[in-house]
Copies of this chain bind each other. A is one copy, B any other.
Amino acid sequence: MKLTKHTDYAFRVLIYLAGYEKDKLATIKEVTAVFDISRDHVMKIVQKLAKAGFVDAIRGKFGGMKLGSNAADINLRDVVTLMEVTLAPVNCEEPPCRIAQGCVLQTLLFEAQELFLSHLGQYTLSDLIKPESETLYIIKALGESFAAGE
C-alpha cells in the first residue's frame, strides 16, 4: 500500500523543474547531483515523463530538459497514473477468488482508490511550488549550490 519510488522520483524531478525559470534548461547531471539518484535511474524516469509530454527533453550539446507545459497544467493524478504500474488495489483474478461474483469489498476498495486518486486530481504541479513557498526557496538554493559547485 504505497507508491513506488519511481513515482515519487518523478515528482521530485517535476517539482525541481517547476522551480526553474520558464525555458531555462536543467540537465540530467544536475538532477542526479541535486537528488543524489543515479544517472541511469533519472534517465528512465525523465524518458517516461518526456514520452508523456510532462517534460521536454532537448538532445545535444547545451541540451537539457524543462517542463513540457505550464506547471498549472500538470495534474498530479496524471503523474501517478503514468508512473504506477499497478493501480488496482486488489487482484481478484490471481489466484481466482471464489466469492468474486457480487463482492461488495471489491467495489468498496475501488471506490476508496478513486477517492485517493481524485484527491490528487484536484491539484497540479503549481500547487506544490507556490511563490514564497518553502519548497521553492529550497529548490532555488539547491540549484544555486549546484551551479556554484561546478
Binding site for B on A (CB under 8 A): 1-5, 8, 11-12, 15-16, 34-37, 76, 80, 84, 86-91, 95, 97-99, 101-105, 108-109, 111-113, 115-117, 119-120, 123, 127-128, 130, 133-135, 138-139, 142
Contact = CB atoms under 8 A, between A and B. Distances in A.
Number of copies: 2
23 contacts: A1-B1, A1-B4, A1-B86, A1-B87, A2-B87, A2-B90, A3-B89, A5-B91, A15-B99, A34-B98, A36-B98, A37-B95, A98-B142, A99-B135, A101-B135, A104-B128, A104-B133, A108-B119, A108-B120, A108-B127, A112-B115, A112-B120, A116-B116
A139 B99 contact: yes
A29 to B, nearest CB: 16
Contacts of A127: 104, 108
* Chain A interface SS verdict (over half): helix
Contact of A15 (B1, B86, B105, B138): B105
